[in-house]
Structure 1
Amino acid sequence: MKKTLIVLAAIILIGFQACTPDQNFEEAYNSISEEGLKPRIKTLASDEFLGRMPFTEGETKTINYLKEEFQKLGLKPGNGDSYFQEVPLVELNATVDPQMKITGGDQAFELNYWDDFVVLTRRVTDSVRLENSEIVFAGYGTIAPEYNWNDYEGLDVKGKTVMVLINDPGFGTEDKSFFKGNEMTYYGRWTYKYEEAARQGAAGIIIVHETAHASYPFEVVQGGWSGANLYLENSDNNMSRCILEGWVSMESANRMFANMGMEGYDFYEEARKPDFKSFPMNQQLSVGLKNSIKRSVSNNVIAKYEGTTRPDEVIIYSAHWDHFGIGSPVDGDSIYNGAVDNGTGVAAIIQIAEAFTKLNKATERSAVFIAVTAEEQGLLGSAHYAANPIYDPAKTVANLNADAYRPLGRVNDFSIIGYGQSELEEYAERALQRQGRYVLPDQFPEKGSFFRSDHYSFASIGIPALDGSGGTDSEANGKEWGEEQYKKYTSENYHKPSDEYTDDFNAEGIVLDAQVLFEVGYTLANESYFPKWKQGSEFKAIREKQ
């Protein structure tokens, strides 16, 4: 009996040791500190880096600084013998016709640029135009086989302009079995709608804006779809895209429906009905624009910590290094420093990289650290990597993304964007338990935030991706205070010159978040399992094909 108890005790002890991180891990984990984070955030957010805008001296300073930081840690170049991956970009600055002419229906009328519509082209050409292009209403512009939904079924849109609604049919229903209810799926994103219209052969696409469905006002659209915009340059000069892509205000859409005898038509409600059929609007539009074109090359910065037994299987850490450079002055300050967005995320992945180098025993899999460019211009750096992956996506275990960690001190909650997507969430939950913290599911799933940061680019090629950060449940000041600080940052500092580093920058919570990502990556790097997408994820089928 005594011998049996001794054997059982030994088994329990072995099991306990297997579940308890070793000293090797503990020392590396605890090396992530405010002392390591704050100087790096301060440097990245300094005026010397000129707001870290791609194509500028600020980019040169930033990417060279990151290369030097990775070199100091002894990390290998992540792209063959180079720390850089070139990202060819083209800048298009459109001058749009002042009016869009609508003919047909009961009477001809005009919509005014900026107030009523915005439009651009991704085609790299001096000018484009649609002349008397037939308008077709295509509901939500969605083909979603897993939901048995096809707004283009039986519809010929080749050479025509489709008008579609933002978000997806489930929004506003509270029915999680219908698409995902109020949680936006990828089919609800404007990016998907533009891509699908092009696949269907449409010449043009305009999306009807509505603030609740879009989760942002029309002013955001006006700002984003005007002036100079950066795009990835590709071999066909984007000629596979629709000729024109744009938006119209809801008032303008109502006017167009009224012009065909459908005044008061509740198109959002009608288009979500299972028996809805898309239809021609018996109207035509005419509008064009001229482009000024500028080409240049930006850079992703990539470094590698090499594993031992399975070095070709990698965990990718990502954070975008770019911000908005020098812009319109606010209170006399014109440098958009981007301390929180995303000096914090870049500093975090450098600290995580440093933690890997402090391991006495190397991990079995490799860890790759990518600081991507042009996130603020539409995830362009990560999208370029996804289209030109350096590491085989089928052997890329996971992507762990760090974006805009707020300096609120210790917070007890950790908000996972797009909660419910992949098994990586369980890894994060275990890491949070060690810290006495808890997971907070995405509080605003209707905003589709999962599709708005760089982890989406990795997800789009099937790689399970995790994006999370400390929430608002402040240990020292309570949740109400934390929520006030979150709102204050969003209204006063987000994408403004005032997003700066100050000496009272509290990075305690950023340390904890970085430790969570380190532990998740360390665990993955020492096991053979590949985390999976969960049932219902838009990316599950892509991974399974790999």
Structure 2
Amino acid sequence: MTRTPLFIALAALALSACSKSEDATTTTAAPVEPAAVEAIEPAPVSAETTADVAAAAISGDSLMTSIGALASDEFGGRAPMSEGERLTLDFLEAEFKALGLEPMFGDSYRQPVPLVSIEADSDTALTITAADGNTTVYAYGADAVFGTSRVVEETGLDASELVWAGYGIVAPEYDWNDYEGLDVAGKTVVVLVNDPGYATGNPDLFNGNKMTYYGRWTYKYEEAARQGAAGAIIVHQTEPASYGWNVVEGSWTGPQFHLASADGNAGNLALEGWVRHEVAQEIFTAAGKDLAAMTAAAAESSVTLEPLGVTATAPIRNTLEHAESFNIGAVIPGAERPDEMFIYMGHWDHLGVMPHEDGAEGDFIYNGAEDNASGTAALIEVARAFKALPTAPERTVGFLAVTAEESGLLGSKAYAANPAWPMNKTVAGINMDVLNFAGLVNDIEVVGFGGSEMEDILATEAKHYGRTLTPEATPEAGYYYRSDHFNFAKKGVPILYAKGGTVARDGDSQAIADYKAAYRAERYHGVADEIIDDWDIDAAVEDMRLFFRIGLNVADSDQWPAWNEGNEFKAIRDASLAE
């Protein structure tokens, strides 16, 4: 088997963690008893509405036909830059054309996504020098992990002064600024993962136990760069991170994939790193500081200036490799307000083929039937419903399949940076990442519950099917920030991320829980993620029809769903709409 080094690296990267994020440790919610979420009577209708008739065009048979193609061995696991990508793009373009959808990107259905692989040489270390000149060397991988997203062959830290910045957060809506009074220009900040709400359990601080974006590692690096720092080192702790050090070591070593910007990501940090909590304790002790006391204080209020008096040296030598992949999208132009868009999205890529010796026997294809041939096929089905309407919706409706989700949400990031419709003209949307095949349920689980008014529309349309809303089981883990909709949220666009719930319509909620647990344990990101006999196709169809009704509700209205008060993306949206 002939494969390029970048292709192999992409597959290995995707296997190391969920979506190149750290979701290798998954918490399975305890089964919910049927009484916990009561079913409601479907909304009475005297006759089929236009929406009902159009929604009926969504077919389980055609869904399975599309999934069967996308998840076939022929498509080879749909890895970016592979023959499977070509087949996937050709298939989707043909389906969009057959439905009469127009290209999303001018006269093309495809949007190029330039990628760069940056792999730091593991033959390096983090050296800490105390004020008295004593040095301590920490091993790369076992003690510290670091790299850069700058597209350069060499960078890193050279005797960079360490500065304590608490949680590294600047959040005006919470009256919180960890950088106030700190001079970090050219220095390296040391910060904690998650946010003060989680640390204190105070429901009135940030979002309490529910992680905000300020708690995510990506934010920590972005804010440090905005503050002019040379580097940022996150202190790892398993509980607030929701994953162990093994995930950090496995996910952030080896090739790291980024978008290839025109300036080579020159504005990013020279070093983005993590250290084990025990290592951080040693560093703070060498500086004559009490990490535990400073951590506790950082959760109560913004940090005060407290120089550590130690420096860090960490050389980074990179191997670079460039390649190109594609997003693919189509639209139904709006009849009255074509410049405003409601968007459906899902990632078409998966993990490709497991590296193996030529002639070896066995199943080496990561078919990705549920993740995410199902969500990609759903784009076709929801588009079919919109085309079944007697007239086009008032607003444009878009259908976007993005690449490289499994390598760090890169396709959606590329689209958000160069959207087909401006973000302040993108009204709202829905991300479909893994459909529900566990069984018909009385609820629908909302990831990032309480985020925006899209949930009010979801509740209205869910009532049509006798369903209610359920908050996600582990809000502290920050799953809303781990799929493609997140890149839209960062631009201010409210995107709904909801999945089939936990309360079985037939009363057997344990069977729902068992199915989901088995998927995570036995099929997720494995070669066993294929079409299986016990899929409940009706459950997936009902969710797709629900998602169709939500989009139609917004597309045929003049409403602009807003982020709820206190949400970290509200200010971004307000500023965007004011332009």
Amino acid paired to 1:193: K
Alignment partners' CA distance in 1, 2:47 and 2:73: 41
Residue 263 of structure 1, CA deviation: 5.1
CA contact (8 A) 1:336 1:498 kept: yes
**2:387 is matched with which residue?**
357
1:498 to 2:524 alignment:
no
**2:317 is matched with which residue?**
290
Residue 269 of structure 1, CA deviation: 1.6
**1:247 is matched with which residue?**
274
User: Secondary structure of 1:349's match?
Assistant: helix
Residue 165 of structure 1, CA deviation: 0.5
235, 248, 255: which one pairs with 1:221?
Answer: 248
Alignment partners' CA distance in 2, 1:331 and 1:544: 56
Amino acid paired to 2:113: V
Once the two structures are superposed, the pairs formed by residues 110-189 of structure 1 within 5 Å of their partners are 110-189=137-216
Which of 121-130 and 93-102 deviates more?
93-102
Alignment TM-score, normalising by the size of structure 2:
0.88
462, 467, 474: which one pairs with 1:437?
Answer: 467
User: Secondary structure of 2:196's match?
Assistant: coil
Q: Deviations over 1:187-228 (max 9, x none)?
A: 111111100111111111111111110111112211221111
**2:517 is matched with which residue?**
487
User: Secondary structure of 2:397's match?
Assistant: strand
**1:385 is matched with which residue?**
415
Alignment partners' CA distance in 1, 2:47 and 2:342: 19
Query: Unpaired segments of 5 or more residues in structure 1?
Result: 1-16
Once the two structures are superposed, the pairs formed by residues 411-426 of structure 1 within 5 Å of their partners are 411-426=441-456
**1:342 is matched with which residue?**
372
CA contact (8 A) 2:78 2:352 kept: yes
CA contact (8 A) 2:177 2:302 kept: no
Which of 446-455 and 262-271 deviates more?
262-271
Once the two structures are superposed, the pairs formed by residues 1-150 of structure 1 within 5 Å of their partners are 23-105=49-131, 107-150=134-177
**1:3 is matched with which residue?**
none
Residue 173 of structure 1, CA deviation: 2.3
**1:4 is matched with which residue?**
none
Q: Deviations over 1:264-321 (max 9, x none)?
A: 6344322112263242221111112222211121111010112212222211100011
Alignment partners' CA distance in 1, 2:254 and 2:488: 28
CA contact (8 A) 2:436 2:543 kept: no
Which of 471-480 and 60-69 deviates more?
471-480
Larger relative CO (CA 8 A, sep 6+): 1 or 2? 2
Alignment partners' CA distance in 1, 2:124 and 2:427: 50
CA contact (8 A) 2:289 2:308 kept: no
Distance change in 2, residues 1:42/1:84 (3 Å): same
User: Secondary structure of 1:532's match?
Assistant: coil
Q: Deviations over 1:461-506 (max 9, x none)?
A: 1211101010222234622332232222222222222212224432
Distance change in 2, residues 1:192/1:19 (3 Å): farther
Alignment TM-score, normalising by the size of structure 1:
0.93
CA contact (8 A) 2:104 2:398 kept: yes
**1:206 is matched with which residue?**
233
Which of 189-198 and 498-507 deviates more?
498-507
Residue 176 of structure 1, CA deviation: 1.9
256, 261, 269: which one pairs with 1:234?
Answer: 261
Which of 510-519 and 490-499 deviates more?
490-499
Alignment partners' CA distance in 2, 1:135 and 1:272: 20
Alignment partners' CA distance in 2, 1:489 and 1:255: 41
Amino acid paired to 2:184: V
**1:447 is matched with which residue?**
477
1:196 to 2:233 alignment:
no
Amino acid paired to 1:170: G
Alignment partners' CA distance in 2, 1:540 and 1:263: 37
**1:11 is matched with which residue?**
none
493, 517, 530: which one pairs with 2:560?
Answer: 530
Alignment partners' CA distance in 1, 2:46 and 2:147: 55
Paired-residue identity, %:
45
Amino acid paired to 2:238: T
Which of 102-111 and 219-228 deviates more?
102-111
Distance change in 2, residues 1:105/1:309 (3 Å): same
CA contact (8 A) 1:24 1:361 kept: no
Residue 333 of structure 1, CA deviation: 3.0
User: Secondary structure of 1:265's match?
Assistant: helix
Alignment partners' CA distance in 1, 2:147 and 2:482: 20
CA contact (8 A) 1:408 1:474 kept: no
**1:456 is matched with which residue?**
486
Distance change in 2, residues 1:437/1:141 (3 Å): same
User: Secondary structure of 2:284's match?
Assistant: helix
User: Secondary structure of 2:353's match?
Assistant: strand
Residue 88 of structure 1, CA deviation: 1.2
Alignment partners' CA distance in 2, 1:227 and 1:48: 29
**2:331 is matched with which residue?**
304
Equivalent pairs counted in the alignment come to 530
Residue 450 of structure 1, CA deviation: 1.3
Distance change in 2, residues 1:523/1:21 (3 Å): farther
Q: Deviations over 1:134-181 (max 9, x none)?
A: 111111011111111111111111111111100011113232211111
Distance change in 2, residues 1:392/1:308 (3 Å): same
Query: Unpaired segments of 5 or more residues in structure 2?
Result: 1-42
Alignment partners' CA distance in 2, 1:412 and 1:331: 44
Residue 260 of structure 1, CA deviation: 2.0
Q: Deviations over 1:375-427 (max 9, x none)?
A: 11221111111111111222221111101124212122211111111111011
User: Secondary structure of 2:204's match?
Assistant: coil
User: Secondary structure of 1:63's match?
Assistant: helix
Alignment partners' CA distance in 2, 1:144 and 1:332: 52
CA contact (8 A) 2:405 2:484 kept: yes
Amino acid paired to 1:432: A
User: Secondary structure of 2:322's match?
Assistant: strand
Distance change in 2, residues 1:276/1:392 (3 Å): closer
